[in-house]
Amino acid sequence: MPAPFHSSANALFDTEVRQVRRLSPGFLRITLTGAHLNRFAAHGLDQRIKILVPAGPYPAAFADEQLHESEWRRRWRDLPAADRPALRSYTTSAVRPDQREVDLDFYVHARPGPASAWAVSARAGQRLLVSGPSSRLSENRHGIQWSPGVATRVLLAGDETAFPAIRGIVSAMHPLVRATIFLEAGDPMDAAWLTRDLQSHAVTVHRRGSTDEGSALLRPVEVWSRGAGAGASAMGDDFYAWLATESSQVAQLRDLLHRTGITPERVHAQGYWNDRARDAPTGSGT
Ligand SMILES: Cc1cc2nc3c(=O)[nH]c(=O)nc-3n(C[C@H](O)[C@H](O)[C@H](O)COP(=O)(O)OP(=O)(O)OC[C@H]3O[C@@H](n4cnc5c(N)ncnc54)[C@H](O)[C@@H]3O)c2cc1C
Protein backbone atom coordinates (compact mmCIF):
# COMPACT_ATOMS: atom_id res chain seq x y z
CA MET A 1 0.00 0.00 0.00
CA PRO A 2 1.44 3.44 -0.87
CA ALA A 3 2.40 5.72 2.03
CA PRO A 4 -0.31 8.26 2.90
CA PHE A 5 0.23 11.55 1.04
CA HIS A 6 2.58 9.83 -1.45
CA SER A 7 0.90 11.71 -4.31
CA SER A 8 1.10 15.06 -2.53
CA ALA A 9 2.94 17.83 -4.34
CA ASN A 10 3.80 19.44 -1.02
CA ALA A 11 7.19 19.91 0.56
CA LEU A 12 8.20 21.46 3.86
CA PHE A 13 9.48 25.03 3.53
CA ASP A 14 11.56 26.56 6.32
CA THR A 15 10.44 30.19 6.55
CA GLU A 16 10.69 33.17 8.81
CA VAL A 17 8.39 36.11 9.38
CA ARG A 18 9.38 39.14 7.32
CA GLN A 19 6.46 41.42 8.15
CA VAL A 20 3.19 41.48 10.13
CA ARG A 21 0.43 43.87 9.05
CA ARG A 22 -3.01 44.31 10.58
CA LEU A 23 -5.57 44.29 7.74
CA SER A 24 -8.61 44.87 9.99
CA PRO A 25 -9.52 44.27 13.65
CA GLY A 26 -9.59 40.47 13.26
CA PHE A 27 -7.07 39.86 10.45
CA LEU A 28 -3.28 39.79 10.36
CA ARG A 29 -1.36 39.46 7.09
CA ILE A 30 1.95 37.72 7.72
CA THR A 31 4.63 37.80 5.05
CA LEU A 32 7.01 34.85 5.21
CA THR A 33 10.37 34.60 3.53
CA GLY A 34 12.61 31.58 3.01
CA ALA A 35 15.58 30.43 0.94
CA HIS A 36 13.50 27.90 -1.01
CA LEU A 37 10.29 29.88 -1.51
CA ASN A 38 11.35 30.47 -5.12
CA ARG A 39 10.07 26.88 -5.55
CA PHE A 40 6.70 27.55 -3.92
CA ALA A 41 4.05 27.05 -6.63
CA ALA A 42 1.74 30.05 -7.13
CA HIS A 43 -1.53 28.33 -8.05
CA GLY A 44 -3.79 30.87 -6.30
CA LEU A 45 -7.52 30.09 -5.88
CA ASP A 46 -8.23 28.28 -2.58
CA GLN A 47 -4.73 26.78 -2.34
CA ARG A 48 -4.53 24.96 0.98
CA ILE A 49 -1.25 24.74 2.87
CA LYS A 50 -0.35 23.43 6.33
CA ILE A 51 1.52 25.31 8.99
CA LEU A 52 3.37 23.52 11.78
CA VAL A 53 2.72 25.80 14.73
CA PRO A 54 5.79 25.83 16.99
CA ALA A 55 5.22 25.26 20.69
CA GLY A 56 8.92 26.01 21.33
CA PRO A 57 12.05 25.29 19.24
CA TYR A 58 11.23 22.88 16.40
CA PRO A 59 12.35 19.27 16.99
CA ALA A 60 15.51 18.23 15.11
CA ALA A 61 13.34 15.85 13.04
CA PHE A 62 12.40 18.85 10.88
CA ALA A 63 15.93 20.18 10.35
CA ASP A 64 16.18 18.80 6.79
CA GLU A 65 15.13 21.15 4.02
CA GLN A 66 12.30 20.44 1.59
CA LEU A 67 11.00 17.20 3.16
CA HIS A 68 8.21 15.64 1.13
CA GLU A 69 4.78 15.69 2.86
CA SER A 70 4.68 11.92 3.38
CA GLU A 71 8.12 12.09 5.09
CA TRP A 72 7.54 15.10 7.37
CA ARG A 73 4.19 13.60 8.43
CA ARG A 74 5.92 10.30 9.26
CA ARG A 75 8.48 12.14 11.39
CA TRP A 76 5.68 14.20 13.00
CA ARG A 77 3.76 11.04 13.96
CA ASP A 78 6.92 9.48 15.42
CA LEU A 79 7.42 12.38 17.85
CA PRO A 80 6.04 12.16 21.40
CA ALA A 81 2.62 13.89 21.33
CA ALA A 82 3.88 16.69 23.60
CA ASP A 83 6.66 17.60 21.10
CA ARG A 84 4.48 17.70 17.98
CA PRO A 85 3.81 21.13 16.49
CA ALA A 86 0.06 21.71 16.02
CA LEU A 87 -0.99 21.34 12.37
CA ARG A 88 -3.40 23.91 10.94
CA SER A 89 -4.63 24.60 7.40
CA TYR A 90 -4.32 28.03 5.76
CA THR A 91 -4.74 29.52 2.29
CA THR A 92 -1.99 31.29 0.41
CA SER A 93 -3.05 34.90 0.12
CA ALA A 94 -0.17 35.81 -2.21
CA VAL A 95 2.88 33.94 -3.50
CA ARG A 96 5.88 35.82 -4.94
CA PRO A 97 8.44 33.14 -5.87
CA ASP A 98 10.77 35.73 -7.44
CA GLN A 99 10.98 37.54 -4.09
CA ARG A 100 10.92 34.29 -2.10
CA GLU A 101 7.81 35.49 -0.24
CA VAL A 102 4.41 34.05 0.73
CA ASP A 103 1.59 35.97 2.45
CA LEU A 104 -0.86 34.26 4.79
CA ASP A 105 -3.96 36.05 6.15
CA PHE A 106 -4.78 34.88 9.68
CA TYR A 107 -8.22 35.42 11.17
CA VAL A 108 -7.76 35.51 14.94
CA HIS A 109 -10.57 33.51 16.54
CA ALA A 110 -12.41 34.99 19.52
CA ARG A 111 -11.01 32.08 21.57
CA PRO A 112 -7.59 31.75 19.95
CA GLY A 113 -6.16 28.28 19.39
CA PRO A 114 -2.42 27.71 18.80
CA ALA A 115 -2.36 29.14 15.25
CA SER A 116 -4.28 32.30 16.12
CA ALA A 117 -2.10 32.79 19.22
CA TRP A 118 1.06 32.31 17.14
CA ALA A 119 -0.11 34.91 14.61
CA VAL A 120 -0.88 37.47 17.32
CA SER A 121 2.60 37.14 18.82
CA ALA A 122 4.47 36.79 15.49
CA ARG A 123 7.46 39.10 15.07
CA ALA A 124 10.00 39.56 12.24
CA GLY A 125 12.59 36.80 12.31
CA GLN A 126 10.39 34.12 13.91
CA ARG A 127 10.52 30.72 12.25
CA LEU A 128 7.52 28.92 10.73
CA LEU A 129 7.54 25.58 8.93
CA VAL A 130 5.04 25.52 6.06
CA SER A 131 4.02 22.54 3.95
CA GLY A 132 3.01 23.82 0.54
CA PRO A 133 3.09 23.03 -3.18
CA SER A 134 6.56 22.68 -4.58
CA SER A 135 7.00 23.43 -8.28
CA ARG A 136 9.91 20.94 -8.19
CA LEU A 137 7.67 18.03 -7.20
CA SER A 138 4.70 18.32 -9.51
CA GLU A 139 2.54 20.70 -11.46
CA ASN A 140 -0.60 19.05 -10.12
CA ARG A 141 -2.78 21.44 -8.18
CA HIS A 142 -2.80 19.52 -4.93
CA GLY A 143 -4.83 21.31 -2.23
CA ILE A 144 -7.14 23.23 -4.57
CA GLN A 145 -10.81 22.37 -4.14
CA TRP A 146 -12.40 24.99 -6.39
CA SER A 147 -13.60 23.00 -9.39
CA PRO A 148 -16.49 24.77 -11.16
CA GLY A 149 -15.97 23.20 -14.59
CA VAL A 150 -18.04 25.11 -17.14
CA ALA A 151 -20.29 26.85 -14.58
CA THR A 152 -21.13 30.49 -15.28
CA ARG A 153 -23.29 30.94 -12.16
CA VAL A 154 -21.69 30.31 -8.79
CA LEU A 155 -22.59 30.63 -5.14
CA LEU A 156 -19.86 31.25 -2.56
CA ALA A 157 -20.47 31.35 1.17
CA GLY A 158 -17.96 31.51 3.99
CA ASP A 159 -16.98 33.01 7.30
CA GLU A 160 -13.76 34.93 7.96
CA THR A 161 -11.56 31.81 7.76
CA ALA A 162 -12.67 31.42 4.13
CA PHE A 163 -12.11 35.06 3.10
CA PRO A 164 -8.57 34.49 1.76
CA ALA A 165 -9.85 31.58 -0.37
CA ILE A 166 -12.88 33.53 -1.62
CA ARG A 167 -10.60 36.40 -2.57
CA GLY A 168 -8.29 34.02 -4.47
CA ILE A 169 -11.19 32.34 -6.26
CA VAL A 170 -12.97 35.52 -7.30
CA SER A 171 -9.78 37.22 -8.48
CA ALA A 172 -9.24 34.35 -10.94
CA MET A 173 -12.84 34.19 -12.18
CA HIS A 174 -13.67 34.61 -15.84
CA PRO A 175 -15.38 38.00 -16.36
CA LEU A 176 -18.54 36.30 -17.66
CA VAL A 177 -19.02 34.26 -14.47
CA ARG A 178 -21.57 35.75 -12.08
CA ALA A 179 -21.22 35.04 -8.39
CA THR A 180 -23.58 35.38 -5.46
CA ILE A 181 -21.40 35.72 -2.36
CA PHE A 182 -22.51 35.47 1.28
CA LEU A 183 -19.91 36.49 3.84
CA GLU A 184 -20.22 36.00 7.58
CA ALA A 185 -18.32 38.41 9.81
CA GLY A 186 -18.41 39.22 13.51
CA ASP A 187 -17.07 42.70 12.73
CA PRO A 188 -18.06 44.22 9.35
CA MET A 189 -14.61 45.86 9.22
CA ASP A 190 -13.17 42.36 8.71
CA ALA A 191 -15.20 41.99 5.50
CA ALA A 192 -14.47 45.50 4.22
CA TRP A 193 -11.00 44.71 2.81
CA LEU A 194 -12.51 41.76 0.93
CA THR A 195 -15.71 43.35 -0.44
CA ARG A 196 -13.62 46.08 -2.09
CA ASP A 197 -12.22 43.35 -4.39
CA LEU A 198 -15.61 41.75 -5.17
CA GLN A 199 -17.52 44.70 -6.55
CA SER A 200 -18.71 43.16 -9.81
CA HIS A 201 -20.60 40.41 -7.94
CA ALA A 202 -23.68 40.24 -5.68
CA VAL A 203 -22.03 40.35 -2.25
CA THR A 204 -23.77 40.57 1.12
CA VAL A 205 -22.17 40.60 4.56
CA HIS A 206 -24.07 38.86 7.38
CA ARG A 207 -23.16 39.98 10.82
CA ARG A 208 -22.72 37.42 13.53
CA GLY A 209 -23.57 37.88 17.21
CA SER A 210 -20.92 37.38 19.85
CA THR A 211 -21.64 33.73 20.74
CA ASP A 212 -22.42 31.91 17.52
CA GLU A 213 -19.36 31.75 15.27
CA GLY A 214 -20.27 30.10 11.97
CA SER A 215 -24.07 30.42 12.13
CA ALA A 216 -24.96 33.69 10.37
CA LEU A 217 -24.88 32.10 6.91
CA LEU A 218 -27.81 29.77 7.55
CA ARG A 219 -30.52 32.35 7.03
CA PRO A 220 -29.25 33.87 3.74
CA VAL A 221 -28.50 30.44 2.25
CA GLU A 222 -31.97 29.24 3.28
CA VAL A 223 -33.63 32.26 1.66
CA TRP A 224 -31.47 31.85 -1.45
CA SER A 225 -32.37 28.13 -1.63
CA ARG A 226 -36.08 28.89 -1.51
CA GLY A 227 -35.88 31.59 -4.18
CA ALA A 228 -33.12 30.40 -6.52
CA GLY A 229 -32.33 26.80 -5.57
CA ALA A 230 -34.66 25.06 -8.03
CA GLY A 231 -33.44 27.27 -10.87
CA ALA A 232 -29.81 26.54 -9.97
CA SER A 233 -30.59 22.82 -9.85
CA ALA A 234 -32.10 23.00 -13.36
CA MET A 235 -28.89 24.64 -14.61
CA GLY A 236 -26.96 21.42 -14.03
CA ASP A 237 -23.26 21.90 -14.82
CA ASP A 238 -23.78 25.61 -15.40
CA PHE A 239 -24.07 26.07 -11.63
CA TYR A 240 -21.50 25.44 -8.88
CA ALA A 241 -21.41 26.21 -5.17
CA TRP A 242 -18.41 26.52 -2.82
CA LEU A 243 -19.09 26.66 0.93
CA ALA A 244 -16.59 26.91 3.78
CA THR A 245 -17.18 27.73 7.42
CA GLU A 246 -17.37 25.96 10.80
CA SER A 247 -17.78 22.22 10.16
CA SER A 248 -21.24 21.60 11.65
CA GLN A 249 -22.58 24.77 10.04
CA VAL A 250 -21.22 23.94 6.60
CA ALA A 251 -23.02 20.57 6.71
CA GLN A 252 -26.30 22.40 7.26
CA LEU A 253 -25.60 24.79 4.35
CA ARG A 254 -24.79 21.83 2.08
CA ASP A 255 -28.04 20.10 3.09
CA LEU A 256 -30.05 23.21 2.26
CA LEU A 257 -28.64 23.18 -1.28
CA HIS A 258 -29.11 19.44 -1.75
CA ARG A 259 -32.76 19.71 -0.72
CA THR A 260 -33.37 22.01 -3.69
CA GLY A 261 -32.21 19.22 -6.03
CA ILE A 262 -28.68 20.57 -6.66
CA THR A 263 -26.55 17.45 -7.03
CA PRO A 264 -23.59 16.75 -4.71
CA GLU A 265 -21.05 17.07 -7.58
CA ARG A 266 -22.07 20.72 -8.03
CA VAL A 267 -21.38 21.61 -4.37
CA HIS A 268 -18.03 21.77 -2.61
CA ALA A 269 -18.70 22.08 1.14
CA GLN A 270 -15.77 22.07 3.56
CA GLY A 271 -15.43 22.53 7.30
CA TYR A 272 -12.68 25.10 7.79
CA TRP A 273 -12.61 24.77 11.57
CA ASN A 274 -14.37 22.95 14.43
CA ASP A 275 -16.19 24.74 17.20
CA ARG A 276 -15.97 22.02 19.80
CA ALA A 277 -13.80 21.33 22.77
CA ARG A 278 -10.77 19.43 21.55
CA ASP A 279 -9.89 16.75 24.05
CA ALA A 280 -6.46 16.13 22.53
CA PRO A 281 -3.54 18.38 23.57
CA THR A 282 -2.59 21.24 21.26
CA GLY A 283 0.11 19.06 19.73
CA SER A 284 -2.57 17.21 17.80
CA GLY A 285 -4.48 18.15 14.68
CA THR A 286 -4.10 17.29 11.06
C1 LIG B 1 -8.47 24.40 3.54
C2 LIG B 1 -8.49 25.41 4.67
C3 LIG B 1 -7.99 26.69 4.48
C4 LIG B 1 -8.03 27.64 5.52
N5 LIG B 1 -7.54 28.90 5.29
C6 LIG B 1 -7.54 29.81 6.30
C7 LIG B 1 -6.98 31.13 6.12
O8 LIG B 1 -6.41 31.45 5.07
N9 LIG B 1 -7.05 32.00 7.16
C10 LIG B 1 -7.63 31.65 8.37
O11 LIG B 1 -7.67 32.48 9.28
N12 LIG B 1 -8.12 30.42 8.57
C13 LIG B 1 -8.08 29.50 7.58
N14 LIG B 1 -8.59 28.25 7.78
C15 LIG B 1 -9.16 27.94 9.09
C16 LIG B 1 -8.11 27.60 10.14
O17 LIG B 1 -7.44 26.39 9.77
C18 LIG B 1 -8.82 27.39 11.46
O19 LIG B 1 -9.47 28.57 11.83
C20 LIG B 1 -7.89 26.88 12.52
O21 LIG B 1 -8.62 25.96 13.31
C22 LIG B 1 -7.33 27.97 13.40
O23 LIG B 1 -6.45 27.36 14.30
P24 LIG B 1 -6.30 27.82 15.80
O25 LIG B 1 -5.16 27.01 16.33
O26 LIG B 1 -6.20 29.31 15.90
O27 LIG B 1 -7.67 27.43 16.46
P28 LIG B 1 -8.24 25.99 16.86
O29 LIG B 1 -7.48 25.40 18.00
O30 LIG B 1 -8.30 25.14 15.65
O31 LIG B 1 -9.67 26.40 17.34
C32 LIG B 1 -10.56 27.12 16.49
C33 LIG B 1 -11.76 27.58 17.31
O34 LIG B 1 -12.47 26.40 17.70
C35 LIG B 1 -12.99 26.57 18.97
N36 LIG B 1 -12.34 25.67 19.94
C37 LIG B 1 -11.26 24.90 19.72
N38 LIG B 1 -10.93 24.22 20.81
C39 LIG B 1 -11.83 24.55 21.75
C40 LIG B 1 -12.02 24.18 23.09
N41 LIG B 1 -11.19 23.32 23.70
N42 LIG B 1 -13.06 24.72 23.75
C43 LIG B 1 -13.88 25.58 23.17
N44 LIG B 1 -13.75 25.98 21.90
C45 LIG B 1 -12.74 25.49 21.20
C46 LIG B 1 -12.75 27.99 19.35
O47 LIG B 1 -13.74 28.83 18.87
C48 LIG B 1 -11.47 28.27 18.63
O49 LIG B 1 -11.23 29.62 18.49
C50 LIG B 1 -8.55 27.28 6.77
C51 LIG B 1 -9.02 25.97 6.98
C52 LIG B 1 -9.00 25.04 5.94
C53 LIG B 1 -9.52 23.65 6.17
Which residues, 6 or more positions from 57, have their beta carbon under 8 angstroms from its beta carbon? none
Q: Which residue minimizes the CA distance to atom 31 of ligand 1?
A: 113
**8 exposed, middle or buried (CB, 10 Å; 0-12, 13-18, 19+)?**
buried
Neighbours of 248 (CB within 10 A): 13
- Look at strands 239-246 and 153-158 and give their pairing: parallel
Residue nearest to atom 18 of ligand 1 (CA): 273
Closest ligand 1 atom to Cα of 91: 8
**Measured CA angle at 80 (ends 91, 90), to 5 deg:** 5
Question: Mean of the pLDDT values across residues 127-135?
Answer: 94
CA of 176 to the centre of ligand 1 (A): 34
Q: Ligand 1 mean position to 107 CA, how many Å?
A: 9
**CATH code that applies to domain 10-133:** 2.40.30.10
Which helix or strand (DSSP H or E) is residue 142 part of? Answer: none
The residue-averaged pLDDT of 235-252 equals 96
Global confidence as pTM = 0.93
Q: Quick one: average pLDDT of 216-229? A: 96
Partners of 166 in beta bridges: none
Q: Which residues contact 5 (CB under 8 A, 6 or more apart)?
A: 69, 70, 73
pLDDT of residue 4: 63
What is 153-273's CATH number? 3.40.50.80
Residue 61 burial (C-beta neighbours within 10 Å; 0-12, 13-18, 19+): middle
**pLDDT score recorded for residue 212:** 64
Domain locations along the chain? 10-133, 153-273
